[in-house]
Every structure is written in structure tokens, then in C-alpha cells.
Structure 1
Amino acid sequence: MTVVVLMSERLAARLLTPAALGSLPPPGATLVDADPADLAATLRGARAVITGWDTPPLTDAVLDACPDLGLVAHSGGSIRALVPESVFDRGIRVTQVAAVLAEGVAEFTVMQILAGLRDAYGFVASMRAGEPWAELAARPPGRLLRDQVVGVVGASRVGRATLARLRPFGCRLLVHDPYLDAAEARELGAELTDLAELLRSCDVVSLHAPLLPATRGMLGADQLALLRDGALLVNTARAGLVDDDALLAEVRSGRLTALLDVFAEEPLPVESPWRGLPGAVPTPHLAALTRETLREQGDAAVAEVRRFLAGEPLCHEVTRDAYGVIA
């Protein structure tokens, strides 16, 4: 056994085409929907494993039992919860497909910004509730993206892809990222600023930072209070970047609109206030979820396995240094 596909059959069907799997050298790949208790036995003898977002964590205990494992090819973007940092001490290489996901998430982010500025979701809900046409027409008009100041927090792959898709609208763009300098920001079409100034200056703030100890809760009550009345907060990154209670209070007050694709508890409970709160637009963690992206994720992961087995350079490898600053 050389390659194990360690994910549910349902997820594998969405990600991995027969053509992609057929491109692996003999004996090909074995699909296993493993119980966490059986991971060590499942992976014993494998040279490479293709993982997905429903793969159980590959803990140190599991890795101890897999001396032949040389590559973890993750078909998703976040690997910190999948493998411990000690994976690098073992000589096991790790890849992920965040570069593939960036386009879908950025496109979704821009869609949410446009819909939020025009209150599209609010109008849909009111139309379905039977609100009279004249009352709908008398509501305050929406806003042009061109005339807004938009702030991007985190110049990640998704953050950069979002900036690239916002530039043609002509809006002023600000960016905050501690690893970015002013010249790099200008190349992205944005002005580099600190977080507080970005929050004070922007009509729209979109979050694209990784969730790390240094970024957890980076937007608390004090930071959210800096946002302008009527501002939009878009989060397609990680819920832990924002203090949930503080954001709930701001949205309940009517001061802010929150367009959220990520939540502290997922799946989002039916009784969650985010599901029915005016001024909140919840979506079920689907920003990257397109048919095309799913296939590209699977193709990219399989291609990395082929390169590894052939002794070729990898295209999406995660280094130890990168592990400390990515999602």
C-alpha cells in the first residue's frame, strides 16, 4: 500500500475524480473512511496520505506508528489542526491547497460586500415576508462600492486575491498585515495601515488573517467600537478572530452589519442568535465551495503525491516556518 486517501467516501467523491486517482502509479490509492482509533493501523505501510477536512487529526501517537509515511497531502487549506508541528522533526513533508481555495473565497467575499452594500439579503427577506412594494422602495438607497473605503485584514493568499478583485471597482483600499511593508502594499493596490486606523477609516472590513495565538480575539469590543456606524464586517477566515459576544452586541444595536461564513461552533446550532438576527447574514462555511474549486483541490493534492513519489519538487509544500503563521 503506497497511497491512502483518508477521508469519507462522500467527500472523496466530491474532490477526487477517477481520472485523478488513475494518474497515480500502481498500485494506486486506497480509500479509507477511518475511525480515529484505527488511524495507526490504517496508515501503516503508507508512503503518502491524502487528507480532507473530515480527516481525524494525525497525532504524534499515530505518526509514531507510521515510520514509512513521507507525505501528508491535504486537500484543504488549514493544516494546524491536522498535523502537529513535530511532523517536521520526523521528516514528513506536508502540502496543502490554499492557493487553489483563494479564488473561490475571494470571489465570494466580493459578492458579500456588494450584497451588503445594497442590503440585498434584507430586501429578499422583506419581499418574502410580504412587505408592501412602496415601503420597500422608500427604504434608504444602497451604496456604490466605488465610493467606499474597504479594509482587508491579512494579506494572505485570500486577502491578496480579494484585493485584486476589488481594485477594478475603484474603491480606496487599506490593508493591515504585520508581515507586509508599504511597498508590497502599494503593489497590491492598497495603503498599509495599522489595525486601529483601518477600523476607524473603513466602510467595509474583510478578515483574511490566520487564527493564531496572536490573532485570536484581535477584534474585541474596543476594536469593533472603532468601526463607523453602518460599516460592514465580512468574515470568511476564522470566527476566533472576533469576540463573538462583542460582535453580537454591535449587530443587535443596529450599528454594524456582519456577513459571516465562519462561526465559533460549527455546524451552527439551530438556536444560534446568528441565524435570525437582523443585520447578520450567516452562511454555512461555503466561501470556497464551488464545483470547480473542489475538483481543483483534489487534482492539486493528487499531483503533489505524484511529484513526491517521483522525487520531483513539490508545488504547495508547507515549511516549518510557514506552519507558525498560516491557518
Structure 2
Amino acid sequence: MSARVVVALGDDLRRRILRDTDLDRLAAAADVVLTRDPAALDAADICVTGWDTPPLPPSSYMDGARLRLVAHTGGSVRHLVPAAALDRGLRVTQVAAVLAEAVAEFAVMSIIAGLRDAVGFATALRSGEPWADLAARPPGRLLRDQTVGIVGASRTGRATLHRLRPFGCRCLVYDPYLSAADATALGAEPADLPRLLREADVVTLHAPVLPSTRGMIGAAEVAALRPGALVVNTARSALVDGAALLAAAARGRVRVVTDVFDTEPLPADDPWRRADGVVATPHIAALTAETLREQGAVTVDEVLRFLAGRPLEHEITRAAYDTAA
């Protein structure tokens, strides 16, 4: 009997991520069912999940359940699969490595655009500000001559460091799980968080949300930032005291580029939409046409490896679950 694969993505997301050729590859190796009905998981061997998939019901991973693999087309699986499911033998794979490339590119773009105040200049030009007044504005800053602090040597943090190296800027990295030797190999200086915040002209966040990292950039840490520092958040809003950061931006003490928020979608009246000193984008750092296609292809590759009894390339082990995003 063929293995049953439940693709638990909404129609729109499934069409964006899984091409017909990907579904055909799945269908050639398994019985494929397209549904978000949680009850379908009781008869599934594998479940393909996405950003819009609801949390797995306990019946799907309790002792004796049929489900053996969750293949997630996104990054974090914490909202879908509890640690208890892995303890009972459920295997989980995801495509964070694919997303990291797009997010790192977006982070570097945000750093350069923030340092040069590209959005501010473009907005003022569109609003009709005289050319001479624009030319008299304070000039931007050269990335080469800045100190960039990377908070979190995650896949995305490392990919961001890799992309920063050609610019010649000094990089500091804070990650309690990263050795000094590994930091040096990445082209960065290891630093504790207070030193990083004190010395960095740019702080870019790439840490997972864990009990130890939730609110790690609190009001005291925001106050410790260098005057004029640029803060870029493409990770998770829960890492930061948003009210403290927003207030610092409103006072002109720091500038912020953020792609993540406590409430998403962001309400129409939310102050992040129109705050001075802030460039806000709607959680699109990982969203490119190429990345979406790769998410689907890599996920299907993982499912086919599993069905063939081959090692998975993107598995979240029980040990890694505790420190993964």
C-alpha cells in the first residue's frame, strides 16, 4: 500500500509554493491528499505543512498514531509541532536553510538603505521637497566604515555575515552557542550583548525566539544603543521591547527597519505604520518568487528521501528543536 501524504496548505499558498511538477513528483511516489482537515492526519503517513497550517491535533502524534513525518515548507515549526511529538518519534523537516538566503539578502539591503536613508530621501522627493533642501540633508553613512552587530549566529545570521564580508565593515556577533573560533571563521569578532550594543553602528537581529531570548532587547538594551544606531529586525518582534524601540525612534535617537510585528497583519492604526525614524515592511523578508518555488521543491525532495529510506537533509532533531527558531 502506498504511503499517504496529506498536503495541509490552503489553496493559494499551495499554488504559490508547490508547482504542478512538484505535486506530480509526490503523486508518483505516494497517495497525495490535498486538505487542511485535521481529521485527515489520522490516516496520513506524512504531512506537508505551511505558514497557514493549523497546529497538529494531539491525536496525530500520540503513541500509536500513523503520522511519521511533518515536512514544513516554512521555517519555525514550534506553532505546529510540540516537542512531545518528537519525543514520541515523529520526525520533522523544514526549509529554514532556503529562507535564510532571502532573509539575509533583505537584511543587507535594509542595512544599506537604512544607512543611506534611501526611503526618507525618496519620500521627501515625492512629496515635493526642494532639491536644494534634499541636498542639504545630513548625508548617509558608508557601510564599509560601520561596525555591524549580528545578534544570533543562526542560518540567517551566518548568511548575513557572509554577505557583509565583501563590504569590509567590522562585524561583531553575539550568540551564546557560538565559540570564539567559529565566530572568527565567520569573519566576525565574538562579543557579549552589552558590548555589541555599545559598539555597533548597526544591530541586525537573527536570533530564534526562546525563553532565553524573548525580550532580550529590552528598554535597558535600547537605551544602551549608540546614538544614531540603526536597528534591523527581520527575525521576530518578540526579541525586542517594541514600545521602547518605537519611542527611541520617535525621539530621533535610533533608526529602525523592521519586517516583523507583535500583531500581524499590522492594524491600520498601528503606530509602526507611520512612526518617524521607522521603515516598516509587511513580513516579506523571505518572500521572493524564487524562494517560494525552492521551498516547495526542497520539501518534496525531503519527502522523497524519507520514502526511499535516505537521510533527511533538513531535519529538526529533538536536540535541535530546543534552540531552533
Displacement of 1:87 after TM fit? 0.9
- Partner SS, residue 317 of structure 1: coil
Any gaps of 5 or more consecutive residues in structure 1? none
Contact preservation (8 Å) 2:153, 2:207: yes
**Residue deviations 1:185-224, cap 9 Å, x none?**
0000000000000000000000000001110000111111
Residue identity matched to 2:90: I
Q: Normalized against structure 1, the TM-score is what?
A: 0.96
SS of equivalent residue, structure 2 residue 92: strand
Q: Is the 8 A contact 1:146 1:171 kept in 2?
A: yes
Q: What is the aligned partner in structure 2 of residue 326 from structure 1?
A: 324
Counterpart in 2 of 1:147? 145
Name which of structure 1's ranges 88-97 and 260-269 shifts more when overlaid on structure 2. 88-97
**Alpha carbons 1:151, 1:205 under 8 Å: kept:** yes
Report the equivalent of 1:130. 128
Aligned length, in residue pairs = 322
Tell whether the 8 Å contact from 2:228 to 2:254 is kept in structure 1 after alignment.
Answer: yes
Question: What residue is the counterpart of 2:18 in the other structure?
Answer: 16
d(CA) in 2 for partners of 1:275 and 1:176?
29
Number of the residue aligned with 1:291: 289
CA contact (8 A) 1:43 1:66 kept: no
> In structure 2, the residue corresponding to 1:23 is in which secondary structure?
helix
1:26 Cα deviation (Å)? 4.2
Tell me, yes or no, if structure 1 residue 52 matches structure 2 residue 50: yes
Q: Alignment partner of 2:224: what SS?
A: coil
Q: Comparing 244-253 with 150-159, which one deviates more in the overlay?
A: 244-253
Q: What is the rounded CA distance, in whole Å, between the counterparts of 1:265 and 1:61 in structure 2?
A: 30
3-state secondary structure, aligned to 1:259: strand
Counterpart Cα distance in 2 of 1:30 and 1:303: 17
Offset, 1:61: 3.9
- Report the alpha carbon displacement of residue 145 of structure 1 after superposing the two structures with TM: 0.2
1:231-265 deviations in whole A, cap 9, x for unaligned? Answer: 10000000000001111111111111110000000
- After TM superposition, list the pairs within 5 Å mapping 1:128-207 onto structure 2: 128-207=126-205
Change (3 A) 1:142 1:211: same
Give the aligned residue type for 2:159: A
The equivalent residue for 1:30 is 33
Are 1:6 and 1:51, in contact at CA under 8 Å, matched by a contact in 2? yes
Distance across 2 between alignment mates of 1:98 and 1:26:
25
> Following superposition of structure 1 onto structure 2, how do residues 201-220 of structure 1 map, counting pairs within 5 Å?
201-220=199-218
Mark the CA change 1:21 to 1:117 in structure 2 (over 3 Å): closer, same or farther: same
SS in 2 for 1:44: helix
Give, as a single letter, the amino acid of the residue that structure 2 aligns with 1:139: R
Inter-partner Cα distance in structure 1 for 2:41 and 2:64: 6
So what's the TM-score if we normalise by structure 2?
Answer: 0.97
Deviations 1:91-150 (A, max 9, x none): 110001001111100000000000000000101111121111111111011110000000
Which of 74, 77, 91 is matched with 1:93 structurally?
Answer: 91
The Cα shift of 1:309 comes to: 1.0
Q: Give the 3 Å change call, closer, same or farther, for CA 163–291 of structure 1 in structure 2.
A: same
Which AA in structure 2 matches 1:49?
C
RMSD over aligned CA atoms reads 1.2
Percent identity, aligned pairs only, is 61
Q: CA–CA distance in 2 between the matches of 1:126 and 1:195?
A: 35
Q: Which residue identity lines up with residue 88 of structure 1 in the other structure?
A: L
Q: 3-state DSSP class of the match of 1:264?
A: coil
1:90 shift after superposition = 2.3
Residue segments in structure 2 that go unaligned for 5+ positions in a row = none
Of stretches 65-74 and 263-272 in structure 1, the one that deviates more from structure 2 is 65-74
